[in-house]
Chain A
Amino acid sequence: DTEVTQTPKHLVMGMTNKKSLKCEQHMGHRAMYWYKQKAKKPPELMFVYSYEKLSINESVPSRFSPECPNSSLLNLHLHALQPEDSALYLCASSQDRAQPIEQYFGPGTRLTVT
């Protein structure tokens, strides 16, 4: 399996809702990433997990809460989001953050906050 999968594909949520995005990879990669991508912009790094531990938080607001239950799974818990948080949320994985990065992206979750 050489793919990163993400669910759901689309998500619409209100500002008071709590939802979660899920990401899974079975490539044996030990580094996993969450990115946010606005239209016509490059991916913007949010979090990096290495060996299931959070290694980078790019000063992301606390309404975004990442979780790495095991080496294959990565979650992003969402609570009290704002309309400006609407974006494509991409998960990625790479073999090891200590190795030259070959990051493979999932298809993304398109999030709309109403």
Chain B
Amino acid sequence: GENVEQHPSTLSVQEGDSAVIKCTYSDSASNYFPWYKQELGKRPQLIIDIRSNVGEKKDQRIAVTLNKTAKHFSLHITETQPEDSAVYFCAAPPDTGFQKLVFGTGTRLLVSP
């Protein structure tokens, strides 16, 4: 089955710096890779996703890159702000059936003013 590894587990940056979170997956058939942001006490929110026919996708200050050969994908946040502080989860479906998502272990991002 699919195994998703996520690093780092915690990340502290200064406001305005960039933050990068990386995930690797094991199932080469996976072709959809979402990222979720979960603030303390709140629901996970889908912030960006990428499909395997695309290498990079941007949405304002966030971007996701995908390397299918190496089976890893990354979340990039530029010009970080204190409100970016949250836990970020990557995920991947275990096969092309999209029946479920397997989540990474999460990265706690702390942005200090």
Contacts and interface: CB of A to CB of B under 8 A. Distances in A.
Given A100-B32, A102-B49, A48 B43 contact: no
Interface string A95-113: 0011111111111100000
Interface size class of B (residues with CB under 8 A): 20 to 34
A41 B32 contact: no
Query: Is the contact region of chain B dominated by helix, strand, or loop, or is it mixed?
Result: loop
Contact of B103 (A43, A102, A108): A43
Nearest to A96: B98
Given A42-B89, A42-B103, A97-B99, A102 B34 contact: yes
Given A101-B93, A105-B43, A41 B99 contact: no
A34 B93 CA distance: 16
B51 A101 contact: no
Interface of B: 31-32, 34, 36, 42-46, 49, 51, 89, 93, 97-101, 103-106
22 contacts: A40-B106, A41-B105, A42-B89, A42-B105, A42-B106, A43-B44, A45-B101, A48-B100, A97-B98, A98-B97, A99-B98, A101-B32, A101-B34, A101-B100, A102-B34, A102-B49, A103-B101, A104-B46, A105-B43, A105-B45, A106-B43, A107-B43
